[in-house]
């Protein structure tokens, strides 16, 4: 029985060996197939990489051929600048994104020049500013190192002069400081109300002194939702970082533990504090200098800056004064970039300061250069009369002064504290300019470049005054919408009261 059993096991074992052999061969075939596929994939990747290397090499060859005759340290720096501009999260990249966003909106607006905006018109730029803000807060260093600008070859220097955009990039230097909340609290004595020098719809401005002794104005965004505060902070820094003029405020840095902007400040503070809060009244020569400097700064924003900027909140409290009474326009929280192809902005939310609103703004929400011109005219009246734009009885200096301006009653207009201590010729020029700036029709208001001519009494002032009377200059959109007969003092006062009711009820 045992012998029979052993003989039966032999075929069964042979069958198992044969099956194992077949399985092994199948595995070998499958492995060979996988190895072949792997080799094919590797070859395909090598071919693709070789193709990419060939393309890159070809591009490098073309670049080298094109620029070999003028390669220099400046050329390499130019390449680095371009890479930094393409980085949407770098400080330069964020600033350039804001400009590119504005340009893209400009190009798309050629057919329709009307736009309705509230705070920030470009979502991509706002997103990039948000990224920049997060990076700023994470910075361990206290200062962003300035960009060094190497000397340019003659050929590059010529091409740069021909390209204003490139010139601006080379001239831009980042040296903004990053302050902790404790540093700002120390500088302002914990934001003591005694150091409060200005207040707006979303912010407060305090006078402070840094550890190195420098006086600064610290703007703190305190009102509205977190989104509104952040939006206002990013909007303002996105504009003021590109403003550079002797009569505009200088940005020193930002706070990293809250929405704070730090600006240069002289011991004199703001025009409003000196004009209305000081026992020592400003003499006429200083007032005249302030009028000229503010006019120059506003002309720069409208016509000399890289982008047309409408300030929207020109007033005495937003004019800072240096040690020698040189004015500097500050607070760009409501400012708007106005693309070249656009005639105006239409804003859906009324913002600003009562007493400075132009009629077309109260009626239609129109914002263009002429709305700033009107506010500047109100500021001139404040310098002439010593009165606030709106006094404690809510009386408008414009409505009070209009009959006196029409009758050229200089003595009744002039601030009593001045007495007869003023240059009559200068006073006449300022009075004439103020009367033109506060015309109810934008058509009758001069542009700021003409305003400074009138104020200085340049040789073309008389000729321009005659041209102004003929109304031959180009009309802005607001000028087309309003003419001299459309608006009167009664309607203006009614609309002003209506806006107050809306603002107080909201």
The structure tokens listed for 144 are 């962003």
- Please calculate the CA angle 25-27-30 and round it to the nearest 5 degrees: 110
Percent composition of the chain: helix, strand, coil (DSSP 3-state, to 5)? 55, 10, 35
Q: Is 211 helix (H, G, I), strand (E, B) or coil?
A: coil
In three state form, how does the secondary structure of 325-377 look?
CCEEECCCCCCEEECCCCCCEEECCCCCCCCCCCHHHHHHCEECHHHHHHHHH
313 in catalytic set: yes
Residues 451-456: contacts with CB under 8 Å, at least 24 apart:
451/295, 451/298, 451/299, 451/373, 451/376, 452/292, 452/295, 452/296, 452/299, 454/429, 455/291, 455/292, 455/295, 455/429, 455/430, 456/292, 456/429
219 is in an annotated binding site: yes
Residue ranges of the alpha helices (H) in 68-163? 73-86, 91-107, 123-138, 154-162
| Catalytic-role residue among 296, 313, 368, 372 | 313
- Give the Cα separation of 370 and 240 in Å (integer): 21
Residue numbers in the known binding site for ATP are 219
Q: Which residues are catalytic?
A: 313
């Amino acid at each position: 029985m045992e012998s029979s059993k052993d003989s039966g096991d032999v075929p069964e074992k042979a069958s198992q060996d044969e099956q194992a052999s077949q399985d092994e061969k199948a595995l070998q075939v499958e492995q060979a197939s996988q190895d072949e596929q792997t080799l094919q994939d590797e070859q395909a990747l090598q071919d693709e990489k070789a193709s990419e290397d060939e393309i890159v090499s070809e591009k490098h060859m073309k670049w080298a051929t094109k620029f070999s005759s003028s390669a220099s340290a400046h050329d390499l720096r130019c390449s680095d600048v371009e890479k930094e501009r393409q980085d949407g999260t770098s400080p330069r990249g964020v600033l350039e994104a804001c400009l590119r966003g504005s340009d893209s909106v400009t190009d798309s607006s050629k057919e329709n020049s009307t736009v309705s905006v509230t705070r920030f018109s470009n979502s991509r730029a706002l997103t990039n500013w948000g990224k920049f803000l997060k990076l700023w807060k994470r910075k361990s260093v206290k200062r962003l190192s300035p960009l060094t600008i190497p000397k340019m070859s003659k050929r590059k220097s010529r091409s740069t002069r021909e390209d204003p955009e490139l010139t601006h990039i080379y001239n831009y230097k980042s040296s903004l400081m990053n302050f902790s909340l404790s540093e700002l609290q120390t500088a302002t004595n914990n934001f003591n109300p005694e150091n409060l020098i200005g207040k707006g719809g979303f912010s407060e401005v305090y006078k402070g002194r840094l550890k190195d002794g420098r006086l600064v104005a610290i703007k703190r965004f305190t009102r509205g939702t977190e989104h509104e505060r952040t939006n206002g902070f990013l909007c303002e820094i996105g504009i003021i970082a590109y403003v550079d003029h002797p009569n505009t405020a200088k940005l020193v840095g930002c706070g990293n533990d809250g929405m704070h902007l730090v600006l240069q400040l002289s011991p004199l503070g703001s025009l409003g504090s000196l004009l209305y809060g000081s026992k020592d009244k400003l003499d006429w020569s200083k007032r005249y200098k302030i009028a000229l400097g503010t006019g120059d700064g506003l002309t720069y924003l409208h016509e000399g800056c890289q982008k047309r900027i409408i300030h929207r909140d020109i007033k005495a409290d937003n004019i800072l004064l240096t040690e020698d009474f040189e004015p500097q326009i500050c607070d760009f929280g409501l400012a708007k970039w106005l693309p070249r192809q656009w005639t105006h902005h239409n804003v859906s939310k009324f913002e600003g300061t009562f007493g400075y609103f132009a009629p077309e703004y109260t009626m239609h929400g129109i914002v263009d250069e002429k709305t700033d011109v009107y506010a500047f005219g109100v500021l001139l009246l404040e310098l002439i009369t010593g009165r606030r734009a709106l006094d404690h009885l809510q009386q408008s200096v414009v409505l009070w002064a209009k009959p006196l301006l029409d009758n050229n009653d200089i003595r009744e207009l002039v601030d009593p504290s001045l007495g007869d201590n003023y240059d009559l010729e200068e006073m006449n020029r300022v009075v004439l300019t103020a009367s033109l700036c506060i015309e109810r029709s934008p058509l009758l208001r001069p542009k700021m470049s003409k305003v400074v001519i009138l104020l200085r009494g340049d040789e073309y002032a008389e000729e321009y005054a005659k041209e102004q009377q003929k109304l031959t200059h180009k009309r802005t959109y607001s000028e087309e919408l309003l003419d001299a007969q459309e608006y009167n003092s009664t309607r203006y006062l009614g609309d002003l009261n209506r806006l107050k009711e809306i603002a107080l009820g909201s």
